[in-house]
Structure 1
């Protein structure tokens, strides 16, 4: 049965709405959540908007309708100016003097039994041992006596003496300096170490920005609770902005070689990512492939990152789809041009 012109007009109107919102979302990296927090929430939905516009583009193209131009044009603008949603090719150059860096939010090593597999914590440790990164940054670390990561050097910053959770950096290279930024009124934090590799000193940050605390399986999206959720998200994005400014004030004082690992709790289309990635390289953008999905959710969301200074050669970027946490571990091989 041939679809009526009214149906096509309605579908194109819906297409136009999604295309316009996607176009507006390209402004997100330039607007601080401290000024318009509500707008910042849209950054979480950018991957969804891209997929919807791809579907419309393909639909109209198959129907041989010129309507495909709308979504096609806006997707092309994003391809040219926004962070890539999908990478078709990867870089893989394995050099003996590469530094293998892993960032992994381990979800407290399954301490509260989110995963019913009793061996989850040990599987995380075994996985790390198998990949054997030279530098390992862990978010949502939980100190347990029955788990052992075999590294000669480490810096662990727990929330307090009573609380055994926090952030950690493990290293095969000597740690000659370390510290914590101590985000105020937050369970999240940013820590750093200076490691000595041959005659080079590398600054390594482990950044865990304010958590969104969203569970799509448990959230009640009724009117009253939706308002509470939006308010919570707005407050979270404001906190992320403050934490980002605190981190950048500290990070910009270091003029040497650097690696920034972390769970930003926001996408590559956000203001916080745009601020932190300035004058740096994103390992996924430089050497990754596919969606780069790092959050264990049906929709492709990249919220975990490994960034380096501009002088770095990134030889590999890989995401491992292992279901031991609500995040996937990411690993990059980096080197510095002589």
Structure 2
């Protein structure tokens, strides 16, 4: 007769009980008790305060005054980058094993996602009635002919250029002539188009400083006019197009974030758009500021950003080698942005931008 050994089941049953629902609930309760130990919540008070301050700065950025060094506009210019402090503070929270810091970080994370989370998704749609593009070609661009070739190959129907020097003007006119039979240059800004242009005129942006607003002398002097308005004739009707290059924004120890000339130009441009009778308007140009900056309220209250409405990501444009801010804009009214993107770099320190729009 064969004898069958039977293993004792006591140990097996005990293991099953140890891993049962009751044990798991006990482990959860134990973890909760540990997490809520008062001494843990007292850890990292400085990091906790910094996390809350970060969230409040982003939440109340519009309340930061401009009276001192224009700090409000400066903060709004770099506002998306405030999010970089979150992982740094989170690393500190893990190092200190502080649940208080982690909890405090919920405020800046929520605020940042509310402000910029929509930019993380691709909102573009295929197809458009018209492609517009804009590029600050750079006064010190050493290859304007190459820049013209690259822009002509972009396929844009309407192309705006800013910072055109007198020396480079004929180079751009020659390089773009085949692709764009119609064009106008007013001072340092110009528009090239595959469609007819009419009613072209300069726009006064109240500039009262030297060429480009630079404190250092440029190798090439430029004229003062830096904005224009024209009408593009399309199959769907007239489209008012503005091209602008506003004054520079600079940070210096005495004045802080210096934007006086730019801000005057933004107000003047906002007034010009407000007086525009055409319902369909496109503004192209280097505005030397982000659309989060309160200085552009007169413009953003009337026009919307193609990048925000139909772009993919932040669309930073400057500096071209490592873009950190979007100061080159395509803003619209009365038309629908379908897509928005940046073009490959040229010889300029700015990236070109483009957008597809539909009626």
**TM-score when normalising by structure 2:** 0.72
Name 2:55's counterpart in structure 1. 19
Alignment of 1:1-338 (within 5 A): 8-27=44-63, 37-53=70-86, 55-56=88-89, 60=93, 65-80=99-114, 82=115, 86-95=119-128, 98-108=129-139, 110-111=141-142, 120-143=143-166, 144=168, 145-147=170-172, 148-150=175-177, 151-158=180-187, 166-182=188-204, 183-186=206-209, 187=211, 189-198=226-235, 200-213=237-250, 226-228=252-254, 230=256, 233-234=257-258, 236=259, 238-255=260-277, 256-296=279-319, 298=322, 300-309=324-333, 311-336=334-359
Deviation at 1:57, TM superposition (A): 5.0
Query: Aligned partners of 2:308, 2:94: CA distance in 1, in Å?
Result: 29
Query: Aligned partners of 2:322, 2:134: CA distance in 1, in Å?
Result: 21
The number of equivalent residue pairs is 296
Query: Gapped runs of 5+ residues in structure 1?
Result: 112-119, 159-165, 215-225
Q: Against the structure 1 CA distance between its residues 298 and 260, is the aligned structure 2 distance closer, same or farther, given a 3 Å change threshold?
A: same
RMSD (Å), alpha carbons: 3.0
The higher relative CO (CA closer than 8 Å, separation ≥ 6) is in: 1
Query: Aligned partners of 1:262, 1:83: CA distance in 2, in Å?
Result: 23
Deviation at 1:322, TM superposition (A): 1.6
Query: Aligned partners of 2:229, 2:68: CA distance in 1, in Å?
Result: 29
Q: Against the structure 1 CA distance between its residues 323 and 134, is the aligned structure 2 distance closer, same or farther, given a 3 Å change threshold?
A: closer
- Contact 1:109 / 1:124 at 8 angstroms: preserved in 2? no
Query: Gapped runs of 5+ residues in structure 2?
Result: 1-39, 213-225
Query: Aligned partners of 1:69, 1:34: CA distance in 2, in Å?
Result: 33
Deviation at 1:7, TM superposition (A): 7.8
**TM-score when normalising by structure 1:** 0.76
Query: Aligned partners of 1:291, 1:58: CA distance in 2, in Å?
Result: 25
Deviation at 1:201, TM superposition (A): 0.8
Deviation at 1:102, TM superposition (A): 0.2
What secondary structure, in the 3-state scheme, does the structure 2 residue paired with 1:228 have? coil
| Between 52-61 and 286-295, the greater mean CA deviation after superposition | 52-61
Q: Which has the larger radius of gyration?
A: 2
